[in-house]
A and B are shown apart, each in its own frame.
Chain A
Amino acid sequence: MSNPEQTNPVIIETDRSTSLVRIQNLSKTFPVASGFFRKGNSFIHAVDDISFEVGEGEILGLIGESGCGKTTTGKLLVKLETPTSGQVFLKNTHVEVKLPKQKAGVAKATSAKTKAISLVTSDGFADIAHLRGRSLKLFRRNVQMIFQDPYESLNPRMTIYDICAEPLSVQSIGSLMEREARVAELMDLVGLTPPETFLFRYPHELSGGQRQRVAIARAMILNPSFIVADEPTSMLDVSIRTGVMNLMLELREKFKISYLYITHDLAVARYMCDRIAVMYLGKIVEMGQTEDIIQNPQHPYTRALISAVPIPDPSVRRQPMELKGGVTKPINPKPRCRFYERCPMATQRCATSDHPPLEDKGSGHSVACYEV
């Protein structure tokens, strides 16, 4: 693919599909400083060779315990992190590639110097991994993120208006009057009404739920097609949380936005998501339709996870599944199933073979396990 003679974007022929985001073999490793002497040979495999797609207007839930790499995945999708390898394709991404300067007459292969080669598919997808400059800025309009902590994700020294209008001003969209009108419109949309009572207040004067609504308004103001929501409701109170979740569902209906909904709470994921991907130590171990996963989990980890969720109904008796040990860190993982140490049904094969591939077991329900 990376032809050094190529100066234009590399075009990949693909089948047309309805997906909006397509992730292929995405990996991200972080170096670990080990001990007193920093040795460069230890890496945390935060995200390890994962692939999935998010359709237009679809909510994909990314489930897992803390440290499983779900937040890193989210950050890779909005390009807050750059992947170590693999591609993140997004539909309707505008790619500008600088043509290398050519010496008189000789078409010199200078692009060998340019490390980044932009990949573009024939149905309008482009790899965002190496976007920079103007292309990156335009991409930012398309993809936004909502953060977990509404107390930390709004600058305490900016008014609500400034926070919401920030994307417009950094993208130089609209006049001052237009921006004001747009912010007021968004405030209305997220249920902060009447807008003028909120616009010139500071975040600390608002409650957690209101702040998260401001964060949603900020994410929505550029009309993105894809939003990564990193545990947007986990820090909110129960009675407030439902309102925010319903708001996000309404926005999806209205604007056909796709979400990657990152959460550790399976009950929330069930309520919000169309499909669920379960992550364990940087790997997706199971993926499928939400009800399929909840009612009929296949992977032992998913089964343990679901069996551990408390049920707010005293008449239901759960049968919790025992797991050995606790979550470790994926530092230089051994070439075997990531779940091997804790798996109650591990066999010799799990220990000797590589991590099992994610295989479709029918009707879009895929599992990465040798024993299923």
Chain B
Amino acid sequence: MQVTTKTLPPSLWRVRMHLWLKGMGQSWSTFRESPIGVTGLVIIVFFGLLGAFYPIYPWFMGKIAWDQETIQKEGIDLNIVYNPIFGVGNDPLLIKGFPQPPSLRHPLGTNADGPDVLAQIMYSASREFLLGMMAALITVIIGTFIGAVAAYYGGWIDTLFMRLADVFVLFPPIAFLVVVSALVQRAGIEMTHMLLALILGLLFGFGSITIVLKSQALTIKVKPYIEAARVAGGSSFHIIFAHIIPNILPLSFLYMMFNVTTAIFSEAALSFFGLLPSINMSWGLMLFRAHTQGWILGHQGAFYWWVWMPPGLAVTLLCSAFYLVGRGLDEIVNPRLRKR
């Protein structure tokens, strides 16, 4: 038989791309069969669209809810009317001091100061996403790397990281974050979304995820293909990056989804405590304001539901959506859960 080198594909990356797409396609068809995961994904897409449509929101509202003549006559700037942070503009129908109920102009009403609630929700959505994803990504990168290294080398490296994980797991995260936020304020550093993502990522990255990923890496470490790679002359670096990490990556990805939930929730909690003054708008902050102004627990709190229910629901839904997607992915990552 002849050696058939000529028929080999000309470029490896194209084949790899094709294989990767095929693999993704298969994973997608498995994922699609999980109703939980699809529900989560639909909610995430919904919030994604919400965030993406924020820039055209004033323009859109101007088209459907406003009389063009009034806009011209009164000189109303819709970008100010729908500014989520400060803007009321001169909307003649609004009375300041009390939240306005939902209307065509303000689909979810306004808060007591006048800004549009839906605009605030939409504006915050993309920031929540960014924060959650960044924090989860940092967590997972740290967790995967430490998990793989601790499992591969064992010994004192393992002990060090596992004890460190114990310490991080031991701390109540919210209380710890309260202290960190205070220290950051005190140091005069502006607490942006990015910095918060970094802090959350680091906090959870050294925590329980390293323990989980390490135990997964340990099951990979004893596989004969690791020995085969060593016999071929592969260095520790090669084995960790070419064999151990690719095999724990699906689990990492799964944990990333769960960590998005944790990060978004942590941000909401910190904002609710009013601990993030540099972040001028978020769902947590909306809840914080509604609470401090007495619209939640005040004598007629439940009456003004549009002030606190939309942000509360948004946090709950988005957090659970990522969790649900994680559960859906679980069925891909752990084939044992899969129905035949």
Asked if A pairs with B, the answer is yes
A residues apposed to B, CB below 8 Å: 75, 78, 80, 136-137, 140-141, 143-145, 147-149, 152-159, 161, 166-167, 170-171, 176, 180-181, 184-185, 188, 193-196, 199-200, 215, 218, 222
- Report whether A171 and B233 are in contact in the complex, using a CB–CB cutoff of 8 Å: yes
Q: A156-B247, A157-B246, A184-B4 are in contact. Are A200 and B229 (CB under 8 A)?
A: no
- Report whether A155 and B243 are in contact in the complex, using a CB–CB cutoff of 8 Å: yes
Q: A155-B247, A188-B3, A199-B8 are in contact. Are A145 and B225 (CB under 8 A)?
A: no
Number of interface residues of B (CB under 8 A): 29
CA distance A143 to B231 in the complex (A): 8
CA distance A193 to B4 in the complex (A): 10
- Report whether B233 and A167 are in contact in the complex, using a CB–CB cutoff of 8 Å: yes
Chain A: CB-nearest residue to B243:
A155
CA distance A145 to B235 in the complex (A): 17
Chain B neighbourhood of A196, CB < 8 A: 4, 7-9
Q: Distance in Å from the Cβ of A298 to the closest Cβ of chain B?
A: 35
- Report whether A145 and B227 are in contact in the complex, using a CB–CB cutoff of 8 Å: yes
Chain A neighbourhood of B225, CB < 8 A: 152-155
Q: Per a CB cutoff under 8 Å, which of A152, A158, A193 touches B224?
A: A152
Q: A156-B247, A157-B246, A170-B238 are in contact. Are A149 and B229 (CB under 8 A)?
A: no
CA distance A141 to B234 in the complex (A): 11
Q: Which B1-30 residues have a C-beta within 8 angstroms of A?
A: 1-5, 7-9, 12, 15-16, 19
CA distance A158 to B20 in the complex (A): 11
Chain B neighbourhood of A141, CB < 8 A: 233
- Report whether A137 and B247 are in contact in the complex, using a CB–CB cutoff of 8 Å: no
- Report whether A185 and B3 are in contact in the complex, using a CB–CB cutoff of 8 Å: yes
- Report whether A149 and B224 are in contact in the complex, using a CB–CB cutoff of 8 Å: yes
B228 at the interface (CB under 8 A from A): yes
Chain B: CB-nearest residue to A148:
B224
CA distance A218 to B228 in the complex (A): 9
B232 at the interface (CB under 8 A from A): yes
- Report whether B232 and A167 are in contact in the complex, using a CB–CB cutoff of 8 Å: yes
B223 at the interface (CB under 8 A from A): yes
Complex A-B, nearest 7 residue pairs according to Cβ-Cβ distance, in ascending order: A140-B233, A167-B232, A153-B224, A147-B224, A170-B234, A155-B225, A181-B5
| A-B CB contact pairs (8 Å), 23 listed | A140-B231, A141-B233, A143-B231, A153-B228, A155-B225, A156-B247, A159-B16, A166-B229, A166-B234, A167-B233, A170-B229, A170-B233, A176-B12, A180-B12, A181-B5, A181-B8, A184-B4, A184-B8, A193-B1, A195-B4, A195-B8, A196-B8, A218-B232
Chain B neighbourhood of A145, CB < 8 A: 227-228, 231
Q: Distance in Å from the Cβ of B8 to the closest Cβ of chain A?
A: 5
B338 at the interface (CB under 8 A from A): no
Q: Distance in Å from the Cβ of B23 to the closest Cβ of chain A?
A: 8
Known pairs A141-B233, A171-B233, A184-B5. 4 more at Cβ < 8 A?
A153-B227, A155-B243, A157-B246, A188-B1
Query: Which interface residue of B3, B227, B234 has the most chain A CB atoms within 10 A?
Result: B3
Chain A neighbourhood of B246, CB < 8 A: 155, 157-158
Q: A152-B223, A184-B8, A196-B8 are in contact. Are A170 and B1 (CB under 8 A)?
A: no
Chain A neighbourhood of B96, CB < 8 A: none
B residues apposed to A, CB below 8 Å: 1-5, 7-9, 12, 15-16, 19, 223-225, 227-235, 238, 242-243, 246-247
CA distance A196 to B7 in the complex (A): 7
Q: Distance in Å from the Cβ of B152 to the closest Cβ of chain A?
A: 15
CA distance A251 to B242 in the complex (A): 29
- Report whether A200 and B15 are in contact in the complex, using a CB–CB cutoff of 8 Å: yes
Q: Distance in Å from the Cβ of A161 to the closest Cβ of chain B?
A: 8
CA distance A154 to B232 in the complex (A): 13
Query: Which interface residue of B229, B233, B235, B246 has the most chain A CB atoms within 10 A?
Result: B233
Q: A184-B5, A199-B8 are in contact. Are A80 and B224 (CB under 8 A)?
A: no
Q: Distance in Å from the Cβ of B292 to the closest Cβ of chain A?
A: 52
CA distance A141 to B8 in the complex (A): 26
CA distance A68 to B193 in the complex (A): 61
- Report whether A222 and B232 are in contact in the complex, using a CB–CB cutoff of 8 Å: yes
Query: Which interface residue of A136, A147, A170, A196 has the most chain B CB atoms within 10 A?
Result: A170
Chain A neighbourhood of B19, CB < 8 A: 159, 200
Chain A neighbourhood of B234, CB < 8 A: 166, 170
CA distance A167 to B234 in the complex (A): 8
CA distance A121 to B238 in the complex (A): 33
Chain B: CB-nearest residue to A180:
B8
Chain B: CB-nearest residue to A145:
B231
CA distance A356 to B213 in the complex (A): 49
Chain B neighbourhood of A176, CB < 8 A: 12
CA distance A194 to B16 in the complex (A): 19
CA distance A188 to B235 in the complex (A): 29
Q: Distance in Å from the Cβ of B239 to the closest Cβ of chain A?
A: 9
CA distance A180 to B8 in the complex (A): 8
Chain B: CB-nearest residue to A153:
B224
Chain B neighbourhood of A185, CB < 8 A: 3, 5
Chain A neighbourhood of B243, CB < 8 A: 155
Chain B: CB-nearest residue to A165:
B12
Chain A neighbourhood of B2, CB < 8 A: 188
